[in-house]
Amino acid sequence: MSATVVVVIAAVSLGAWRLQVRRHPNWATSDDARFHISAGTWTTLIALYWFLQSRQEPHWVWDAWPIVVVAAALLLLRGLNELDATRDEEFVPTPPRGVRSEARSNFLRSGAHRP
């Protein structure tokens, strides 16, 4: 199988995985996680392509690309760990029921019409 076909299969797989990861509740709030997952995805694809290309004529590059692939996998893992980490400053608990109803009643003052 050629390197291009393998990379296309990997790109489709990583794309499907990334669509699933984007549904994570912390995706919108964690800049570090989005950065690490994006960097890891592209680094994995580039390193995989060049690793498979260098196998055709082995030289020192053949030894370097597996290290880059491992580094890319660590970026992906770090991004997933960042997504699962709960930060106190990003977590806003929902108020108790009584407080929510008071907030709603303050919004709809007398004379206001409910849509």
State the pLDDT at residue 9.
Answer: 92
Residues 6+ apart with CB under 8 A from 66: 51
| pLDDT, block means (10 residues), the chain with 115 residues | 83 90 85 88 85 70 77 88 72 60 53 54
Domain boundary assignment for the chain: 3-86
| CA–CA gap between residue 92 and residue 27 (Å, rounded) | 15
What are phi and psi for residue 94, nearest 5 degrees?
-75, 140
State the pLDDT at residue 29.
Answer: 82
Chain position carrying tokens 């890319």: 72
Angle between helices 60-84 and 31-54 (to 10 degrees): 160
Overall pTM > 0.85: no
| CA–CA gap between residue 54 and residue 94 (Å, rounded) | 54
